[in-house]
Amino acid sequence: MEPTIIDIEDEETDPEQPGIIIHGEDQDVVSEPEVIDMDSPDRNAHSSTPDSSCRRKEDENGNPLRKIVVKAVLDAMNIMEGSGASIKTFQDILDYGKTMLFTSIGDDIDVDILSALWPKNWNAAQLLLKEEGFSDAKEYYICICREAKEITKDEKTSMKYHYNRMWSIMESQDELCPHCGKKGYIKYYYLGLHSKAKNWFQNEAMCKQMLSHWEEREHWLGRTSSWPVKKEIWDGQRWVNLQWFWDPNQTWILPTRCVNCKAIISAEILLGCPKDDSNICEVSCPECFETFPTEIRTASGSPLNLALIGHWDAWQPFTTRLRSCGSIEISIANMYKKDRSHVKEVYVVGFVPCTTIPDDVPETFHPFLEPLMNDVTTGFIDGFQVPYPFDFTISHFEPGETPTVRFLLLCWTADHPGQCEFESSLTKVNVVVEDVK
């Protein structure tokens, strides 16, 4: 299936261009620290509140002392991350930083106000950063349904689990699995794409990197075949096939979600449904067969839209598999290869505790991928509104003050064992990944 493309410049013909098709569908923990999404290309550059527009000039009446404190806390977190220090050591770093700062400031600085703003511990530092726009990781509780059975062998009794290949992912610790009626027993922390996108687009240098594909648009825009010299990912045929996603002169029909089962209804199905004068059509879901009304919506291409590369990697931090772990990561395909390959441009979205999941269940990784796939689905259908650097210009394109950015998942990478582990999950959950390389 292909998305329906409408050429703004010439609406008499609908060019057939292949594209990505989307299918498918506060619990407080006192004993554990909250996780702050620090996936920012320049962490000192994100000290604005999320509701403020980055295209407006910085408010001259803002509290300069607060900005000093925020920058100091971010520097302390950088030291903590780089040295692998503990939370207790972070408090020592804070105290040392406070002492150094207070001995270096001039008489024109109000020490009492600065002292009141300074965070006393890790929790206070997190609260300060939340007020400045940073966000926590989302905590999920996963249940891969199982039944415990006692096995006796050689007069020794052990407990074994039988899995029925059902699973669920819940947002509350007290929520029960709809399949087995038990609570989720696997904690999963997920760092969402929306907060990452806001951080990415707040920084001018990052925006320039994410527009690298647009700088070389002659390699793919308006072409039907790939660029003869293959140096970047947009020199290939796949990017040419998806050029409608970035071309401001093209518009396509957006898919929608079933209001009952959350399955994805393709644009092809929507166009085949009868509609009234208000562009409202009655859609029959191919998954649950329920009928519901929906509005046919369109979207235009934008150079700001992002193609993501997913990645899975598992490792053993110790010599035994009993403590193995894995991470689900993304990178931005819009960047030049030399930038995208840098370690700081690989963004973790979640850690998978491999020791607590079964090895012989094909659906094992389904619940860990679902939040990411839901984010990509939302990012494609609804898009995310993001701030934008003031006075940053784009050749042959003028973004709004808070432009809507859309996502698609271009491909998925892993080593061979990782691809074998994730192949089933990538084809079963909400978004179809067309390239698995």
CA distances, 109 to each of 4, 44, 252 (Å): 61, 21, 56
- Give the per-residue pLDDT at 321: 66
208-225 residue pLDDT tens:
999 999 999 999 999 999
DSSP-assigned states of every residue in 202-217: T-HHHHHHHTHHHHTG
Please, where are the H alpha helices in 202-300? Answer: 204-210, 212-215, 237-241, 267-271
Q: Which of 254-258, 298-302, 333-337, 353-357 has the lowest mean pLDDT?
A: 353-357
Residue 430, class by beta-carbon neighbours within 10 Å (0-12 exposed, 13-18 middle, 19+ buried)?
Answer: buried
Residue ranges per structural domain of the chain: 5-25+191-254+297-428, 47-131, 138-187
Instruction: pLDDT band for 428, please (50, 70, 90 cuts).
Output: low
Contacts 24+ apart (CB under 8 A), 214-220: 214/246, 214/303, 214/334, 214/394, 214/395, 214/397, 215/395, 217/246, 217/303
Contacts 24+ apart (CB under 8 A), 65-71: 65/109, 65/110, 65/113, 65/114, 65/117, 66/117, 68/101, 68/114, 69/114, 69/117, 69/118, 69/119, 69/128, 70/128, 70/129, 70/132, 71/44, 71/47
pLDDT of 82 strictly over 90: no
Cα R_g (the chain), whole angstroms: 24
pLDDT of 52 strictly over 50: no
Give the residue, 4 or 114, on which the prediction is more confident.
114
pLDDT of 176 strictly over 60: yes
Q: Which of 151-155, 186-190, 214-218 has the lowest mean pLDDT?
A: 151-155
Q: Mean pLDDT, to the nearest integer, of 50-72? A: 59
- Give the per-residue pLDDT at 235: 97
pLDDT of 42 strictly over 60: no
Instruction: pLDDT band for 156, please (50, 70, 90 cuts).
Output: confident
Instruction: pLDDT band for 407, please (50, 70, 90 cuts).
Output: very high
Instruction: pLDDT band for 87, please (50, 70, 90 cuts).
Output: confident
- Give the per-residue pLDDT at 419: 86
pLDDT of 75 strictly over 50: yes
Give the residue, 36 or 379, on which the prediction is more confident.
379
Q: Mean pLDDT, to the nearest integer, of 74-79? A: 86
- Give the per-residue pLDDT at 150: 85
- Give the per-residue pLDDT at 429: 47
- Give the per-residue pLDDT at 73: 87
- Give the per-residue pLDDT at 62: 54
Give the residue, 434 or 226, on which the prediction is more confident.
226
